[in-house]
Each structure stands twice: as structure tokens, then as C-alpha cells.
Structure 1
Amino acid sequence: MKPDLLCIGSVLWDIIGRSNAHMSAGSDVPGRITRIPGGVALNVAMAARAYGMTPALLSVVGRDPEGDELVAAVGRLGIVTDLLHRSDDLPTDRYMAVEGGNGLIAAIADAHSLEAAGDKILTPLDGLDWRGPIVLDGNLTLDLLAVIATDPRFASADLRVAPASPGKAERLQPFLEHRAATLYVNLEEAGILLHGSQTDAGEAAEALLARGLHRVIVTDGPRLAACADPNGCIRRTPPEVMVTRVTGAGDTFMAAHIAAELQGADSEDALRRACDAAATYVSSDTY
């Protein structure tokens, strides 16, 4: 299969515990625990596949039983795995989250193998004449992201960058002046990049653009979302839905937005489609 999207970043197992009960620190409640393929890069790839795209993954997966299972599962979804770095000495990464009826309670991302592999995951690019969009996630190290931000191979690339979590938002600083990068951040992550809280997604998007960013999409859960570029700032409020899950919602939004633009949607329609896709995702109870 010939890919039309590269997803560079975390490819791992998501271990997610979910309960309908409202939870807080120390809660002990009945629920369900699932293990599914995940990681920001893989989540975007899976969602993009659902929108008719053929994504390829650049990441590291261990040559352990968990890694073999993961690669096989991803391959069955129609995602290109030929460019993955398979490591003999690094274990397959994992992510663990606990979700209650009141949203995400806590999460831990164990992406140490991705960090340890470093630029080895980029080796397949040396023989690849790539001209399509590239998704990057903030689970890559700051050093590697800084290299990518200044690498001639990526200078004019259509980079779509997501921080992975608020705790990794600072890693995206090198892309604030990249001439072709689009950042996908939530309101909290935007505030971290701007070193100050923002009133809403529109204000945050305009502030990031003023900092030199080429283009930015800012989301805020069920509240206002915004897309800002040199042509202006577009705002949209997502549909109201009953939220039953949250892990992966931002990745679904990102994939839907990319797919819409590649299908010819303008900025306003692409933002609408992404908001609708995220709303459908969070209101579904099937991983």
C-alpha cells in the first residue's frame, strides 16, 4: 500500500479503565478495563484510516510479544507498518488511563522506548521522497522535535503537530516560527505555550499566531474551537453531546481535520467536520 499520510510519534498499547461513576483521587469503583492499540501517532492514523486515508507509522515497537501483537493488530486495520523501527532491546511502550463519569481522572504515558530510540525512527525518510502531510506528536523528545523543526527535509513540509498532553506542550516551542507547521492544541496547552492563561480558544489562537506561528487550531472540549492563520480566525462551537469517553478525542479531531482539508474542504468546513467527528467520538461507548 502507498501511504498518503505519515504519522511520527507514539505507537503503543492503551490500557484504559472506565467507570460510569464520578471519581476522584482514591476512588475504588466497578468498571471495565480494556487494552487497545493507541498512542497519539497511532490514534491519528487509525482515525485517518476510518476517513479513507492510508497512513504509515514512523515509531519504535519492541521485538517482544506485546510488540508483535501490536504490529499485527495495526496491520489488520490497513495501516502501513513497514517503516516502524523494531527494537531488540527496548520494550513496547504503554499508556494507562482511568476515566470516570466526570472525565479523565489520571493517566500515565510510558513512552520511554520512543524517547530512547531518538532519531532512529526517522531513518526510513532518507529513502522516501515524501510530499504529503506529516503528523508529529509531542511524545518525541524536545531535542528530536528541535532537530525536525530545523531539518531541511521538513522545511516546507505540511507538518501537523500535537503536544500529546499539557505536560509536553513546551516541547512544541521550536515550531512556533516554522513556516509551514500547523499546531493542534487545547486551551490549556495553548496557555502553556503562551506562558499565560487565555479566555477562550479564539483568543488563544490569535495570540499564538501573533507569536509567529504559521497556523493553529485550538480546542476546548465542548466549548469554542478556533482555527487561526494569516487569513483570519474562524470560530465554531461543537455539537452538544453526552460524553462517555475522552481518551483519543483530540487525535480524532486532528485526523478528521486533515482528511477534510485533503478532500478539498475550506477552513470553515474543515473545522466543522473536525468538531462533529470529535463530538461523535466522545459520545460513543465503543473503543
Structure 2
Amino acid sequence: MTTNTPPTLVVLGSLNMDLLLRVPRAPAGGETLLGHSLSQTPGGKGGNQAVACARQGGHVRLLARIGRDAEGQALREALQRDGIDLAALQQDPQQPTGKALVMLEDSGQNRIVVLPGANAELAFDDEALAAPLQGADYLVTQLESPLPLVLQAVAAARRAGCKVLLNPSPMQPLPDDLWPQLDTLVLNEIEAADYAGMPVTTPEEALAAGRALLARGTGRVLITLGARGVVTVEREACVFQPALKVAVVDTTAAGDTFTGALVVALARGLGTPEAAARGVRAAALCVTRLGAQASIPTTEEVEALLPAAPAALNL
């Protein structure tokens, strides 16, 4: 049953200040290339997903860490403008705020190097984790935070009766007992191929990989295929949702935008294919704009784009 009540999402993840370097193309080894521009914009997978959830109408509590510096203060102010609950935001007395070096090519393709900074020191005891998870609908997390903390938070969410969505990026080995604790697993084709141990280049291959991951005990698996769309894999149904064709400006935060729109829709009671359709539309809007959080659309923008959606296909 769907509901109009704003869902509560707890997001555990990284906060980075992105240094966005626009270039015609990536330079070859040893080559010097003239760039177009250099700008600074809020980012980090935790921050991006928190903003995506908030702009889709979710009430968001963020668990993250910044440094005592100008970049950290700028990130805090940006998150406050989106109405995100920062009661659990930590400030590191020594480590600087995380940074990401984003090289954006004219084609829209990006290359990213992350310097974790304060993100690597993020830590909570069980009591501090239990408070924000109380009454929450979903815990949303990635792997830019320390893995022991992610595992601790997943266990705390299960104890609190809170569902868990994991976006395992950047990839790292995961313990076998984690998979059954996940209600929703969202990953791209590269991550799916690595975790499932098979190629993922087509919707049919994504379906096979999704079923292999589903067999580990996860509730549902969604594999994003970039400009092609997303495959949703559940025990009762498997669907391919094609993407909209748009003029790509910047793919930064597209996956995070998809995740935020998806989880808010799931928390409102929409079925997985319908929730994935919203995620695909949100990501399509995101890639037509420059920057990470600056490119994330609102729920009104996604609603306006939904009638243009191509039909989903059963696999």
C-alpha cells in the first residue's frame, strides 16, 4: 500500500568537496592538456544520496563526518538548505574534509579520485547508531565509509526493524553473512560482474548476475546499466526498465540520484519496477546538468518526466 507520508531515511556515508576539472578528454600518460575550467561543488556518495532522498520528499538523517575547515562548513550549509537532519554529523578535530578530484570530459564521462580525509575516521557506538535508526524506514549506505562501521550499522538497523539498502561502491570484499541482511542491493554493471563472477554487458547477463546475488539471501537486486537502463531482479519477477535518451552533460552523481529516488519510492510502498522507473527518470535529469548535488532533481521534476517513460520489459 502506498502512502503520502514522508518516509524517514537514515543515510550513512561520505561527504566530499568535489574539485571539478572540465577537460576536452582525458590526457594520455605523460601528456599535458589544456582544461576548460576548475570549480568546487558539494559531493560524496553519502551527501549525494542524502540530497537525492530529501529532494524526492524523504525526511533524511545523515551520519557522516567533516573536518574543521571551510570545505566542511560549506558542505554543512548546503545540506541544511535541503532540510537534512545533521544532528549526527561529526566534526573531526584533525583530519580535513574529504575531497574528490573529478575530471569531466566533454563527452560527459568522468574519472574520479577520492581523498577520504575525515570520512575515514567516521565511527559510532551502538547507542549512537540506535537513536537515528529508531522509527526509520530505511538505512541507506555505501562503501566509502569504513567497512566495520557499515557492518555495525546494518546490524543496528536490523535490530531496529529498519530495512537496509546497500550500494557497494567502491567495491571491496563483503562477508557472506551480510547479503541476507540486505533488503535491497543497488549496483552497476561493473560491480555486479565482480560480485557475481560473470560478465554483465546486456540486460540478460544482468538478470543472470542478479539471480546469482539473489541466491545469497538479498531481498531484491537492481543492476544499473548506464545509458541503457536498469534490471530489477526479485524472486517473483524480473524487469528491464529502459532509460530515456538525453543529452549527457555530466554523469557525476547519476547512480546516487537513482538510489535516492528509488529508496524513497520503495519506502512509500511502490513496487520495485515502479520505484526503479522513478530512479531512472531522476538519473536522466541528473546527467543533463553539471556537478554532483547541484544536478539532483526534485520530485516535481521527476513527476513531470514520468509520462515520457518507455515501457518496462519483463525478462
Q: Which TM bucket (shorter chain)?
A: 0.7 to 0.9
TM superposition shift of 1:42: 0.8
Give the letter for the 1:177 counterpart.
P
Give the structure 1 partner of residue 147 of structure 2.
142
Give the letter for the 2:26 counterpart.
M
> Is this contact kept in 1: 2:250–2:288, CA < 8 A?
yes
Give the structure 2 partner of residue 176 of structure 1.
179
User: Partners in 1 of 2:231 and 2:250 — Cα distance?
Assistant: 22
TM superposition shift of 1:198: 2.6
**Which of the residues 127, 146, 154 maps onto 2:158?**
154
User: Partners in 2 of 1:272 and 1:127 — Cα distance?
Assistant: 32
> Is this contact kept in 2: 1:7–1:55, CA < 8 A?
yes
User: Partners in 2 of 1:123 and 1:92 — Cα distance?
Assistant: 25
Residues 225 and 173 (structure 1 numbering): CA distance in 2 closer, same or farther, change over 3 Å?
A: farther
TM superposition shift of 1:172: 7.5
> Is this contact kept in 2: 1:145–1:172, CA < 8 A?
no
**Which of the residues 192, 196, 199 maps onto 2:198?**
196
The 4+ residue runs of structure 1 with deviation greater than 4 A are 171-174
TM-score, length of structure 1 as denominator length: 0.87
RMSD: 2.4
User: Partners in 1 of 2:109 and 2:176 — Cα distance?
Assistant: 26
Q: Deviations over 1:252-276 (max 9, x none)?
A: 0011111222333222211111111
User: Partners in 2 of 1:38 and 1:219 — Cα distance?
Assistant: 20
Give the letter for the 1:208 counterpart.
L
Report whether the alignment pairs 1:23 with 2:26: yes
User: Partners in 2 of 1:221 and 1:258 — Cα distance?
Assistant: 18
Q: Deviations over 1:209-258 (max 9, x none)?
A: 12332211100101241111222212111111121101100000011111
Give the letter for the 2:194 counterpart.
I
TM-score, length of structure 2 as denominator length: 0.80
Listed as ranges, the matches of 1:1-287 within 5 Å are 4-19=8-23, 21-25=24-28, 26=31, 28-119=33-124, 124-128=128-132, 129-149=134-154, 151-155=155-159, 156-165=161-170, 168-171=171-174, 175-178=178-181, 180-200=182-202, 201-285=206-290, 287=294
TM superposition shift of 1:171: 4.4
Greater RCO structure (CA 8 Å; 6+ sep): 2
TM superposition shift of 1:152: 4.8
> Is this contact kept in 1: 2:110–2:251, CA < 8 A?
no
> Is this contact kept in 2: 1:202–1:224, CA < 8 A?
no
Q: Deviations over 1:72-129 (max 9, x none)?
A: 2221222111211122122211111101023434211111422223336x75324342
Give the letter for the 2:61 counterpart.
A
Other structure's SS at 1:22 match: coil
Other structure's SS at 2:124 match: helix
Structure 1: runs of 5+ lacking an equivalent: none
Other structure's SS at 1:118 match: coil
Residues 78 and 105 (structure 1 numbering): CA distance in 2 closer, same or farther, change over 3 Å?
A: closer
Other structure's SS at 1:28 match: coil
> Is this contact kept in 1: 2:198–2:209, CA < 8 A?
no
Give the letter for the 1:194 counterpart.
A
> Is this contact kept in 2: 1:133–1:159, CA < 8 A?
yes
Q: Determine what percentage of the aligned residue pairs are the same residue.
A: 26
User: Partners in 2 of 1:172 and 1:234 — Cα distance?
Assistant: 28
User: Partners in 2 of 1:225 and 1:172 — Cα distance?
Assistant: 26
Aligned length: 280
Q: Deviations over 1:1-22 (max 9, x none)?
A: x982111010121111124x23
